[in-house]
Structure 1
């Protein structure tokens, strides 16, 4: 047995994705955002989360999917990577599961249109359930984060 890794499962465009629980700060409902000029389209703006100004990106837009209407299931997953907190808009956040690290395969070059560099791997949960694990460092890629950091000044 490999180690167990706890991941939060969320849905995006009818696929299931996961991020490690320890990178997730909180999961919030949708809320009004302040738009920020001169940012990429997928940067939806900033929210004030308990006194912290947090940039929010739409993961669908980040991966080049068609963006969709937000519903009451839409969530903002607040993740922390390298001292930066960013909110990721997802279609819904479903549950927390344990993934055996032995069951994580390297991602193929492209999964559902997402480049492999954004992915940490594909986890096999049971016979017919695959979970795409995100590589948050790349999803929140440095050059874009630099833009986001400028927002806060």
Structure 2
């Protein structure tokens, strides 16, 4: 099991996703809106020959949307057969987080974060939260047909 994680930023908070879930990172230059999708679905993008839905992680987490910048990235992740792009403020760093340093989030955080945060880790003076990619993708799929 790999201990490598991609660090992503949303607002002033740092999160990590397991390197095993990440297919690649891309710059964000906009997405094609799809009528009838949830507000947090930015639309569709074409990456490396495939069409991928993009979820604005800020909106998915209940944060205010922000205009994309040069630092904005789409982290293309896969969970099972689903591939989704996660739009984040920035993603520039890969870190090694040992499984022994990951701790369950406090109960109130686990409840309030709708299960999106599955662990917390201390990186020096930084506190990062491990995002449950499967939960984000499953939730997106759950609402897609409604």
Q: What TM-score do you get using the length of structure 2 for normalisation? A: 0.90
* Runs of at least 4 residues off by over 6 Å: none
Residue in structure 2 matched with residue 64 of structure 1 by the alignment: 62
- Confirm whether residue 117 of structure 1 aligns to residue 137 of structure 2: no
Rounded Cα–Cα distance in structure 2 between residues aligned with 1:92 and 1:5: 21
Aligned ranges 1:107-146 → 2 under 5 Å: 107-111=105-109, 115=113, 117-126=115-124, 128-142=125-139, 144-146=140-142
| Residue 47 of structure 1, aligned match among 45, 48, 58 | 45
Q: Which runs of 5+ in 2 are unaligned?
A: none
SS of residue paired to 1:140? helix
Question: Alpha-carbon deviation of 1:109?
Answer: 3.2
| Residue 12 of structure 2, aligned match among 14, 17, 28 | 14
Question: Alpha-carbon deviation of 1:147?
Answer: 4.9
Conserved? CA contact 2:16–2:128, under 8 Å? yes
Closer/same/farther in 2, CA of residues 80 and 4 from structure 1, 3 Å limit:
closer
CA deviation profile, 1:70-121 (whole Å, cap 9, x unmatched): 110000000001111100000000200100111111012344x951511120
CA RMSD of aligned residues (A): 2.0
Residue in structure 1 matched with residue 100 of structure 2 by the alignment: 102
Question: Alpha-carbon deviation of 1:4?
Answer: 6.0
Q: Which runs of 5+ in 1 are unaligned?
A: none
Q: What TM-score do you get using the length of structure 1 for normalisation? A: 0.87
